[in-house]
Chains A and B, each alone.
Chain A
Amino acid sequence: MKLGFRSKIYLGFFSLLLIQGLVIFFWTSQVMKTSLLEEIQNRGISIGINLSARMVEPMLAMDFLRMKVLVDETVELGDDIFYTFVLDRDGNPLIHTFKEGFPIALKTANYVLDNQKVSMRLLDIGDQLIYDYAVPVFINDNRLGTLRLGLFQTQAEKAVDKILISAIITIVSAIFVAGIVGTMLLNPMTKSIKKLHDSSEQALRGNLDVRTAPMLKKNCWDLMQCHQKECPAYKNYHHRCWYMAGTLCPTCVEGEYAKKIDSCRQCQVYKRFSGNEIQSLAESFDAMTLSLKGNLSDLKAAESILNEQKALLQTTLDAIPDFISLQDHEGRYVSVNRGFCKMLDKKKEEIVGKTNDDLFSRIQADQYNKEDKSIFETRIPLVKENKMAGSKGMKWLHVVKIPVLETKNRVKGLVCSGRDITELKVVQEQLTQAQKMESVGRLAAGVAHEINTPLGIILGYAQLLLEDVEKDGQIYKDVSTIAKQTKLCSKIVADLLNFSRSSQSIISEFDINEAIKEVLDMVEHTFSLNHVIVKHEYDKVPLLMRGDKEKLKQVFINLSNNAFDAIEKNGSILFKTEPGEIHNEIKISISDTGCGISKDNIRKIFEPFYTTKGPDQGTGLGLSVTFGIIKEHNGTIKVYSPPLSGKKEEKGTQFIVVLPSGLNTKKGEING
């Protein structure tokens, strides 16, 4: 378990005191002990030298009484003096303080030379240690003998120990007193810090209604004698006025803490009531949590709005059928909409954070990277139409890439927007086709109109000649050929006129089944010769419609002829009629078992003069005329090869013509 702040402070405080005490104790005790022992030793030397000087006269007089008195007096000076004795110049004891005889060993235990002032030795007498001092007794240069003095070292030690114990007691007392004083000083501080810590934890848990500082006892309204109840600081016992915005004191500067604090510091309220650092910290913490609470509330509201806006934006983006993406400056996808996900058939999470290399084929990725790099470098938007293979075939995409500028010269990212224009492309192609056909039609009509008159004259004169020549003659045959070919030319001209809608339409109400039946009656025999069977499945009820019956019959003839040409021999052609999927529509299906149409050709079959037949077998106008007649009747024609109803491996072609019955429409709305 880790120590708390208070424990650490106390531990550190007491450790410091203890270390300081120990250092002082050990260091000073050593110094004291050394100096004390030195002092004790010096005392021995001093006593010895002094006694030596006093011993001269009695020694000269050989006054043993005085000598005895002197040595006895010396021993009585203190408990630490063990013995004193005097040796003569030969080292024999003259006088001593021992009770029962003189210890022989002491004679030689210490010796002092004539040139020495004193000699000190430590003697071990078994249970005690003795400092033995030997001092020579001189009269002038004549040595009378030696004075010896013995001091208990243990007594000296005791004196030292007494001082050390006093030192220890003093230091411990000092630590104790310092500890009490320190505790008294530290306690309020550590309590405040503990409370601050608790409040901070509460704040971290989300509770910002914390009260760290004690309830305020001295307040601004008392000092200023203020009665402004509207002031936010008035009767607020928890927050100091200088932390609060919008206080109404005349000396206050408007604004938040940062703006007003400089002026507040000059205010007598601040000078009088601002506490110590810890109290100020607690008060500022309370103010901070209060401010934080307000800011947090604003932030939450802003976040809520932001989330709403974000969701709205995402919904809008996702609702847009176009695909939209945002890449960062490294080409990494940052955001994409649903359309983009749909296009790549991936989830959003699988796209965000990836690059082109991760999402597209190598060739495509290289191309896109090249484009992106160019935009990043040139900052010029890119607009292009892109053809790409999708899961449902080829797609045409209209793509716009726009750089997102961070600064004037720096591109932050890239917004890419794309739209599927496959259908538009088809319509565009159809429009082009229609325009082309319209031009051809106008040209053909003009040519046909100009050729029709000379052809009539040629036919007229050829028929006149036939009346004039013999029917068996060669001339008759030749003229007959001219007339026949002229009629063929007239037919072509008529077809051209039909295609260019220049021919007149005769509108009537008729049964489509009947019209088809009339056509089939006409061709059935011819087709059967090549073993081509014509079948029909008419709807049970008559499918009445308004339109040009002859033109529509021409349509069916053209389609049956094309079917016959595709079969050549041994096959069948099926005519089927039924009501359309939409009310008032008639659906006619003509399918054959012929060679079918290749994918390349199927789109060109309605173009004028486009034919796969030989030079003399077709004009290339049949299906163009058919397309024109159906358009004239506001219908549609679609071609499927192989037929929709058949199996894929089957050959053949199916044309489905859907015509509005026109029965509910007013007269004259049909083109023509």
Chain B
Amino acid sequence: MKYGWMILLFFSLLPGCGENGSAIKVDLTKKEMVILKEEPDVITYAYLPQYSHTVSHTRHHSLIQYLKKETGLNIKQIFPDTFDEHMKMVGQKKIDISFSNPFIYIKISQRYGANAFARIIEMNGKDKFSGQIICRADNASIQTLSDCRNKSWIAVDSTSAGGYLFPLGHFIDHGIIKKDFREIAFSPGPGGKQEKVVLSVYAGKYDIGTIREGTLDVVSDKIEINKIKIISMTDQYPGWMYAARKNLNKKIVEKILEAFEKLDFNNKTHREILESANFIKVIASTDSDFDIVRQLAAKVGISLEE
């Protein structure tokens, strides 16, 4: 056939037009309504969202697994988005165990009757911590604390201890009041608020920022730390603590405290848990340990009920 080769060519090209592959048949007509099933006997554990949920999860996931195993309780970490939400959830009994800073604690203690039962020893071995006032290292106009007047200030949150309350007390002790600042802003939420303060100062959006000590280490992989200068450190106050919501079964609290006290930094498994959580030890604590914080709040004029 004279033109057979053309037909052959045509048909040899045809397979290029087809679609191959096998599909799984799925019937979309059968449907169900989505209902979230609440787990029974869950002990909710929340980390005050000073960092992102991911950081919170990363830091405390191993610890919670340890507590679950050690206490036999169904402990589940939940992630409130804001400090306020965290506090409210304590009041609503949605958070059974609250890991928060002392400033929040005195608030939830005041508002919702939460009770402190343990506090941590920081990685530096201290059971207290301080706040830091930072600015850009190349900002020549800010050399001392008094240079902070008429400057824009970004703080972590109005409920933040190391990131607002401690520095505010520190400014007042040095004769600088809120009105002396050109602007006082708070880090946008939710989560990651400490990091956002550092990033805002680093970006030059605000002249100074206030953070709790240790935050710079957290953001060291995001920015050049040497471009940030610490203007001043606040006094030391009791560090982060554990509080049980009002009316939480005391046995549960005891079990948890017991498990906390068992954590030994020298134990390899425990050390990994503790390092992940960014502290070296958890010790028993009582509400009176935080009176000094209550005094600070009173000094700066913050109402615990607000």
Contacts and interface: CB of A to CB of B under 8 A. Distances in A.
Interface of A: 15, 19, 22-23, 26-27, 29-30, 33, 56-57, 60-64, 92-96, 98, 100-106, 109, 121-126, 129-130, 139-140, 142, 157
Contact of B31 (A56, A60, A103): A103
24 contacts: A15-B6, A19-B9, A23-B13, A26-B13, A29-B16, A30-B16, A33-B16, A57-B52, A60-B56, A61-B53, A61-B79, A62-B78, A93-B34, A100-B31, A103-B28, A104-B31, A105-B27, A123-B23, A123-B25, A123-B26, A124-B23, A126-B25, A130-B26, A139-B61
Given A30-B16, A102-B32, A125 B10 contact: no
Contacts of A92: 34, 37
Interface residues of B, number: 38
Contacts of B80: 61
A122 B22 contact: yes
B191 interface: yes
B23 A129 contact: yes
B57 A60 contact: yes
Contacts of A23: 9, 13
B28 A19 contact: no
B19 A104 contact: no
B26 A105 contact: yes
The 7 A-B residue pairs with the shortest CB-CB distance, nearest first, are A101-B31, A26-B13, A124-B23, A30-B16, A61-B79, A60-B53, A103-B28
A377 B171 CA distance: 145
B29 interface: yes
Interface in B185-235: 190-191
A345 B270 CA distance: 143
Central interface residue in A26, A92, A95, by most chain B CB within 10 Å: A26
A251 B25 CA distance: 92
A26 B9 CA distance: 11
Given A26-B17, A105-B30, A125-B27, 4 more contacts: A106-B26, A124-B23, A129-B23, A139-B58
Interface of B: 6, 9-10, 13-14, 16-17, 19, 21-34, 36-37, 52-54, 56-58, 61, 77-81, 190-191
B24 A124 contact: yes
Contacts of B81: 61, 63
A139 B57 contact: yes
B53 A57 contact: yes
B24 A140 contact: no
B13 A22 contact: yes
A602 B31 CA distance: 152
Contacts of B36: 64, 94
A106 B28 contact: yes
Contacts of B23: 122-124, 129
Contacts of A62: 78-79
Contacts, number: 106
A142 B61 contact: yes
A57 B78 CA distance: 11
Contact of A56 (B13, B26, B34, B54): B54
Nearest to B276: A140
A361 B304 CA distance: 158
B31 to A, nearest CB: 3
A626 B234 CA distance: 194
Nearest to B16: A30
A98 B52 CA distance: 30
B69 to A, nearest CB: 15
B10 A22 contact: yes
Given A60-B53, A101-B32, A122 B24 contact: yes
A140 B58 contact: yes
A139 B27 contact: no
B53 A103 contact: no
Q: Could you say which of A56, A57, A64, A121 has the most chain B C-beta atoms within 10 Å of its C-beta?
A: A57
B83 to A, nearest CB: 14
A30 B19 CA distance: 10
Contacts of B56: 60
Contact of A105 (B6, B22, B28): B28
Nearest to A26: B13
Nearest to B191: A57
A130 B30 CA distance: 17
Given A102-B34, A105-B26, A56 B16 contact: no
A68 B32 CA distance: 17
Contacts of B29: 103
A103 B34 CA distance: 10
B19 A157 contact: yes
Nearest to A82: B28
A41 B111 CA distance: 53
For B23, B30, B57, which residue has the most chain A Cβ atoms within 10 angstroms?
B23
B111 to A, nearest CB: 22
A96 B32 CA distance: 12
Given A27-B16, A61-B78, A122 B28 contact: no
Contacts of B32: 101-102, 104
A105 B26 CA distance: 6
A125 B6 contact: no
A400 to B, nearest CB: 67
Nearest to A85: B34
Contacts of B37: 92
A259 B264 CA distance: 117
B24 A123 contact: yes
Contacts of B13: 22-23, 26-27
A94 B31 contact: no
A139 B54 contact: yes
Given A122-B22, A123-B24, A101 B53 contact: no
A63 B82 CA distance: 12
A29 to B, nearest CB: 6
